[in-house]
Each structure stands twice: as C-alpha cells, then as structure tokens.
Structure 1
Amino acid sequence: MTTRLPSSTTSRLSTAPSSIKPRQLSHLHAQLAQLSANLADLENLLRMTSVQAESVRGLGAFHGGLFMAASKVLGEETIAGGQKGDK
C-alpha cells in the first residue's frame, strides 16, 4: 500500500536578491572577506612549506653523504683492525 504525503501549500522562500535582507548580505560579505583572508594565509603557508621542503631535501642529502662517508671510514677501520688482529 502506497502512502502519499499531503502536498504542502507553503511556498519556499525565494533566493532572489530582492528577498535577501541587507543584514544577510553584509554577513555573507564578511564571511567572504574572512575566507579570502584565510586563503591568502594558506597560500603564504604553502609557499613557505615548499621552500622548507626543499631545504629539508638538501639536509637529507647532506646527512646521507655523511652517513656514507662514515660507513666507508668505519668499514675501512674494521677491515684494517681485522687484518692487524690476524697478524
């Protein structure tokens, strides 16, 4: 059995500019200004993050080089120490 909801005779509020109150417009304008400011802040933060990511990448490469050099030096000392112990 199908039930039908009674049709509503109340009309929906129009979203036409003539029915929007000036207070609502000023509120929307303030929200848009805040959103625009937040987007500008986000853009600056993303730019700074990009610069910092490049610096971290360079730092990682530098550390990798130090680890490889230390490994080579310590490896040579281990080999040299092992050869001295054999003699």
Structure 2
Amino acid sequence: MGTSSIFLCVLFLCGALDLTMSPARGRLRCYTCSLAKPCYPVPTKCQDDEACSISTGTSDQSEIIERKGCLPRAQCPLPSHATYWLRSYILRHHCC
C-alpha cells in the first residue's frame, strides 16, 4: 500500500468518525454516540492513551448496533462483547 493510499484511508476513516483536531491543544476531538436510538453525537476529547473509534456490534440474528467514542488504544484491535436490549452482540472496533 503506497503512502497516498494510506493517507486517503486515514482521511476516509477520520471523516467517517467525524474527527477534528482541537487547535488549542492539538488533541483529537471525537463525537460520542451511544447505542441508544436516536443518536445525538456529543463532542469529546480523547485522552492521550485513547483513540476515537466506531464500534459495530452484530447479534446472532444479524442485528447491528453502533457506537462512536473514545476507546483505550489497547482495545482497538480486540473484539469484545456487549449486551443491549437483552441481546448479545460481538463488537468490532475501527479506530483512528
């Protein structure tokens, strides 16, 4: 993958996550959006050891839920589980 492809990938992912750089502190500003519907994004500043992420959950019945927000960097590559509305979901995280 060339440098331009990586750059475009980062731009696309950051655009999908609604990310901006805070000019005063140079920290990543992320929009938090919980699993609740309807979703009202709330601006959030991630800590230095966190990354902005989109977590997508899929149930056994192929139902999909999504949340946006800061996630510890160590959890980014790891799948996890969540229970929402009495259903179990496998979560995948896409971090920027």
Bigger radius of gyration among the two: 1
TM-score scaled by length of structure 1:
0.23
User: Greater helix percent: which structure?
Assistant: 1
Structure with larger RCO (C-alpha < 8 A, sep 6+)? 2
Answer 1 or 2: which has greater strand percent: 2
